[in-house]
Homo-oligomer: A and B are copies of this chain.
Amino acid sequence: MKEILETFKERMDELFENKNVRAMRELVEDTPEADIAEYLETLEPKNALVIMKIMPKDLAADVFSYLEPGFQEEIVGIASDEEIKKLIEELSTDDAVDMLEEMPANLVEKVLKCANASTRAEINRFLNYPEDSVGSIMTSEYASLKAEMTVRQAIEHIRKISFHKETVYTCYVLGSRRSLLGVIELSEILGCRDDDELIENLMETNVVKVGTADERQEAVRLTQKYDLFALPVVDSEDRLVGIVTVDDIVDVIEEEATRDIEQMAAIVPTEDTYLKTSVFSHVKARIPWLFVLMLAGMLNGVILGEYEVAISALPILVTFMPMLTGTGGNSGSQTTATVIRAMTLDEISLKDSFRVMWKEVRVALCIGVVFGILNFARIYFFTSDPDRVKIGLVLGLAMIFTILMAKTLGAFLPLLAKTVKLDPAVVASPMITTIVDVVSLMFYFNLAMQLLSHRM
């Protein structure tokens, strides 16, 4: 809501000018952290730091976690060791790790030096999880209960620990050495009418969980399938090491969709937002694939060179080229985009490969035959060339062939990529378009040279 931020900004600017610390403190405590962060980003880093210092330290850490990485860096750059110490001890592990992953080495060192030994050890452990793993998005804050607690004891226990909202609503029942015995929703505990009932009897023992090394996409799948707010993460010995909360899952979903879209559009995935990415970085993200595809286009040209005789003799053939290759490219993109998206959403897996291919073949034949006939008819009725039947046949058959090939390849290549554990989006539309271009033009001109040899 724009209004919250605007009202806040007006009053805050005024109070800041008058150095009214008490009123500022009251104001920030009644404003959502996300808006305070957005406001701070409009200030000089040193003024933002002044305002962070008047906040209670847990609020300051929360607000800090909402700041853009670049701004976090500036704040850390000018903050004193004492200020960093307070901050790093209050931040959730996942927020601290997110921040450090984006920072240059010297600042990471500065921050870690200020953390106490156990925090430092934990952060270092988290920093070691691979980028796309569950470990990289989990947090180590969670609410744990014991199986032998009663409902009353559990509620008392929960009321004593003061965690963030996202980490307290699902409670984990731990046995010896943090082994995960069960999971129970806070709503279930509160809803139990018998205060002396044991947690043991209420908890869900069929626990949905992931391992630290699992792909984060697996955490997304489970969170969605079971409508979870938090998902427990266990190590190889089934001990609880952390949880993944739904707000981080939401971010992963957005990131994965963006990555799919970028790769389908032949862009090397970028990290920053559009406007924050420099012209040079945009160029760097776009030039590699454009270059590869241009080389492929050149190859295409070399092959076309073989048909110079046909081109000179029957320039009308050239006029159908853009339509033929365009339709091929579009048909292929349709299939690849659909198949890749269905894989991301887990609607299809490798064992469905045959069904997918068969479906695409049938779709391609339907569309191909319709378009083939349309093109034949158009040439037959609207062209005056004496060989219009043959030219129509060449184009119509080439159209069917092109659509069939585009859609078959468009389904096959992403499935193949997945089989050999490559990211399917890498082989997406542009590469398929290029292959389809080459093969369909070869088919087209060869057929033309067969059927229309008397004109060459």
Contacts and interface: CB of A to CB of B under 8 A. Distances in A.
Interface of A: 1, 4, 30-34, 155, 158-159, 162-166, 168-169, 185-188, 190-191, 204-206, 208-209, 222-227, 229, 246-247, 249-251, 253-254, 257-258, 260-262, 264-267, 273-275, 279-280, 282-283, 286-287, 289-291, 293-294, 296-298, 300-302, 304-305, 308, 311-312, 315-316, 318-327, 329-331, 333-334, 336-339, 341-342, 345, 347-348, 352, 355-356, 359, 362-363, 366-367, 370-371, 374, 378, 429-430, 433-434, 437, 441
Nearest to A308: B315
A139 to B, nearest CB: 13
A447 to B, nearest CB: 17
A321 B320 CA distance: 12
B208 A4 contact: yes
Contacts of A293: 326-327, 330
A83 B338 CA distance: 39
Interface of A is mostly: helix
Given A264-B264, A279-B363, 12 more contacts: A1-B209, A162-B191, A164-B187, A166-B227, A166-B229, A262-B337, A267-B334, A267-B338, A275-B348, A293-B326, A293-B330, A308-B315
Given A165-B187, A265-B429, A371-B290, A32 B279 contact: no
A210 B192 CA distance: 33
A294 B371 contact: yes
A316 to B, nearest CB: 7
Contacts of A319: 301-302, 304-305, 308
Chain A to chain B: the 4 pairs with minimum beta-carbon distance, closest first = A297-B323, A265-B337, A257-B257, A274-B342
Given A337-B264, A363-B279, A165 B158 contact: no
- With most chain B CB atoms within 10 A of its CB, the pick from A227, A282, A311 is A227
Contacts of A327: 290, 293-294, 297
A226 B224 CA distance: 20
Contact of A258 (B163, B166, B341): B341
28 contacts: A30-B205, A32-B208, A34-B227, A155-B190, A159-B190, A159-B191, A165-B185, A165-B188, A168-B187, A186-B186, A227-B247, A258-B341, A265-B333, A265-B336, A273-B347, A274-B348, A283-B367, A286-B331, A287-B367, A290-B367, A293-B330, A294-B327, A294-B371, A296-B326, A301-B320, A301-B323, A318-B321, A329-B329
A206 B31 CA distance: 6
- With most chain B CB atoms within 10 A of its CB, the pick from A34, A336, A348 is A34
A297 B375 CA distance: 12
B187 A338 contact: no
B301 A345 contact: no
A169 to B, nearest CB: 5
A424 to B, nearest CB: 13
Contact of A322 (B279, B304, B352, B430): B304
A429 B265 CA distance: 9
Given A312-B312, A337-B264, A345-B258, A30 B204 contact: yes
A253 B282 CA distance: 25
- With most chain B CB atoms within 10 A of its CB, the pick from A34, A187, A222 is A187
A364 to B, nearest CB: 9
B265 A338 contact: yes
Contacts of A321: 301, 304, 318, 321-322
Given A165-B229, A319-B302, A322-B304, A334 B266 contact: yes
